[in-house]
Chain A
């Protein structure tokens, strides 16, 4: 399978060379306006949204403004670029003594926009256009001027749909990387929050930002991330999932080595722990790395609620994750191999339910699990209006009718339903998917070898997890290898004042959150007051 994939990867090299010829641009802007506009037209294949407006303005010169319709604010283009050039520039120039350098004059005195840049090449010109800027060209100029005028339709900051909380901020990332960076800047008001930009994807030129807090994040991890990003050679990055597959440590594993989140507060917390965030333009999902296995069971809410309930919830989540992985296989093993482990009355009642069921327990479980997976997938893909209809059908078909028809036993429905619900408890969706896949393997093992099979499967799984590293950090970090100091924020969460050091393996060595002991009310003052 791996060889086949390698072969696939090799085949991709052919269109690469082809793509390069596409992007061959004339190097420099020329002094001829007509030539420049023609070059733009030929580069874009006369796409109609590339607007080139030619007019006469300052001193009777011929100007052209170039912008992409839909990415620019027409008000700014009209009022701050075209209008001053056509009407007001002459009056301002009249007051100037002697002859004027039209290029510097336009850039410094005429354009009333926030930022301007000088454009030398067509590559620059194109990339500024895609950024929503307007480029001003004129007959006789060797350079162009880009003026910021971007404005496009985008979703507002809304509550994230995938990671809702009861207590905590309700804002979520959007598809715009600028907005996302701003959301983070508002949370961490420190100049140490550094941002390194890359453009990845030969055709899509997607903006990717690596953000970390200098002095907290491990420099070697940041270096490793940048190096892996630079190694990516692809023509498109449309979602952070693309990046994840390109830079992850291990491909053949069901376990993800990065967390994705829609929540700025989660990202801010991760940055403060020394993790590195990867923001990709066009998706609200931000990647966090390096991570450990136990991070998947941490919801951002854990830090906003009291530590005792948070610890309880984390244990609950880990239990639910384990249940979602092993419950059907345990049921299969117990009912087909180890009947002596069930209390007599329960065994009798289970046996009564199985009377007249034509299939072996394994097949019964497989059937129900597949049915549930189908329903789940249908629920995600269906138009929202039909969703409720499917849930009714699902509940009736899965629940009642199948039992009454004697296809499956009632206990099996309970097992499958509980497994399904358990799989939704884990806050990180991508680890729940891993459990889904492992579940089927374990069911097969349970059907062939009983508990022995399950145990060897789990053993294999643990060995496999021990071999995984996320950017150099062992996957099962605070537990194996044992880092006693980090246990306070793994399965349990200690109160905030007890968490003095940052996670050792993730952040820079010796990174300390706080040095003072727990703040206590000043009792001595009270007593002296009482005495007097």
Chain B
């Protein structure tokens, strides 16, 4: 029984001497939904935090409506650590980063290099590697100040914009932090990030009054694709140019392909093809020093819309349309390649493909891969199958024409 007493004593001492470890009550916690990193002209870091105010971001439990659902504040410093230390002068709550969904890089910080930011992120035990990372043209903090309507917390809105749309819009760059990190650390590959931009007048969307209108004066939008070379931002790919990247990297899940239904140059009437599933194979080849990449794309889907008068019951018509779609996809892919080749940034993973197939030759190729990449001959083969035409067969214009006859 003495043993029991000693055990009990040990138990109590370890309980009480340990104190309450790192206990934090929920109402002492500032839940950070998004962080933005900016670098000013004097190379000072500005770290901006978007902190959720639980009381007001909850519609049901009252309060909401009179106060903003989030509060945004920034702190400056020569290093990120210095900046984040200064934030404690400002906030009474312990900032909690485990729920940070979104990291936004200002253009200048991205051009300077992301090493320092990624270093702090990987070092901290509270942050998550599955947060989304985005780049913006101007200041990152401007993005965080915009109030949003569909979700009261802008950080959550941005993350659901990426996770929700990711399934449908394949022309976005992979934006998870760990994906970004793994492509930044790949010497032959260049990383890409989606752009988030404030479309409209940002000033007007900072007050809660802006939420009372049906049409917001400024909204957060996903837009172009930012290309990184190693750890530095180098340039933008437009939405049009980014389209082919998803095809080439085999990330295309669902998308709409717009194509002229009577071939190029014909009266400008455009139809849409909805891609339901697709598969891309990259086949690198090397002959006489000439690098050739053959890209084989297989896409299956359904006809989404057509204004042309088509007899879609005939297999020949479908075959013809398949051909137009193939041309369109091929053109998209080639355009994208030209754009990235111009930047000498291999965002397509071609380097890995060559490395795998020609490990011996890669020792030479790898040394000047950026130049070699730009000289690759692209050989695109597309096979498209329209599997369904939706709920009707013939186009509506044909049906209405036959009624008028």
Q: A355 is contacted by which of B18, B55, B101 (Cβ under 8 Å)?
A: B55
**Cα distance A347–B16 in the bound complex, in angstroms:** 28
Cβ contact within 8 Å between B52 and A348: yes
Given contacts A336-B25, A337-B21, contact A348 B153 (CB under 8 A): yes
Q: B55 is contacted by which of A335, A352, A447 (Cβ under 8 Å)?
A: A352
A96 part of interface (Cβ distance < 8 Å)? no
Q: Which residue of B lies closest to A3 (CB)?
A: B1
A445 to chain B, nearest CB (A): 7
Given contacts A352-B54, A448-B18, contact A337 B23 (CB under 8 A): yes
Which of B26-34, B286-294, B385-393 forms contacts with chain A? B26-34
The B interface is mostly helix, strand or loop, or mixed, namely loop
A212 part of interface (Cβ distance < 8 Å)? no
Cβ contact within 8 Å between B21 and A449: yes
B119 to chain A, nearest CB (A): 21
Contacts of B29 in A (CB 8 A): 339, 351
Given contacts A344-B99, A348-B52, contact A357 B27 (CB under 8 A): yes
Cβ contact within 8 Å between B54 and A349: yes
B400 part of interface (Cβ distance < 8 Å)? no
Cβ contact within 8 Å between A352 and B22: no
Count of B interface residues, CB-CB < 8 Å: 31
**Residues of B3-46 whose CB lies within 8 A of A:** 4, 15-16, 18-27, 29, 31, 33
Q: Which residue of B lies closest to A361 (CB)?
A: B25
Contacts of A355 in B (CB 8 A): 27, 54-55
**Cα distance A353–B54 in the bound complex, in angstroms:** 8
Cβ contact within 8 Å between B4 and A354: no
**Residues of A397-445 whose CB lies within 8 A of B:** 444-445
A356 part of interface (Cβ distance < 8 Å)? yes
Q: B18 is contacted by which of A2, A336, A356, A449 (Cβ under 8 Å)?
A: A449
**Residues of B350-404 whose CB lies within 8 A of A:** none
A37 to chain B, nearest CB (A): 55
Given contacts A347-B31, A354-B27, contact A2 B4 (CB under 8 A): yes
Contacts of A2 in B (CB 8 A): 1, 4
Cβ contact within 8 Å between B99 and A444: no
The A interface is mostly helix, strand or loop, or mixed, namely helix
B165 part of interface (Cβ distance < 8 Å)? no
A450 part of interface (Cβ distance < 8 Å)? yes
Cβ contact within 8 Å between B26 and A349: no
A315 part of interface (Cβ distance < 8 Å)? no
Cβ contact within 8 Å between A339 and B52: no
**Cα distance A88–B355 in the bound complex, in angstroms:** 124
A10 to chain B, nearest CB (A): 16
Contacts of B27 in A (CB 8 A): 351, 354-357
B84 part of interface (Cβ distance < 8 Å)? no
Indicate the member of A3, A252, A340, A450 with the most B CB atoms within 10 Å: A340
B33 to chain A, nearest CB (A): 8
Cβ contact within 8 Å between B31 and A336: no
A17 part of interface (Cβ distance < 8 Å)? no
Indicate the member of B15, B23, B61, B126 with the most A CB atoms within 10 Å: B23
A154 part of interface (Cβ distance < 8 Å)? no
Cβ contact within 8 Å between B26 and A448: no
Contacts of A335 in B (CB 8 A): 25-26
Residues of A within 8 A of B (CB): 2-3, 252, 335-337, 339-340, 344-345, 347-357, 360-361, 444-445, 447-450
List 8 additional contacts besides A339-B31, A348-B54, A354-B25; criterion CB under 8 Å: A336-B24, A345-B156, A351-B27, A355-B27, A448-B19, A448-B20, A449-B18, A449-B21
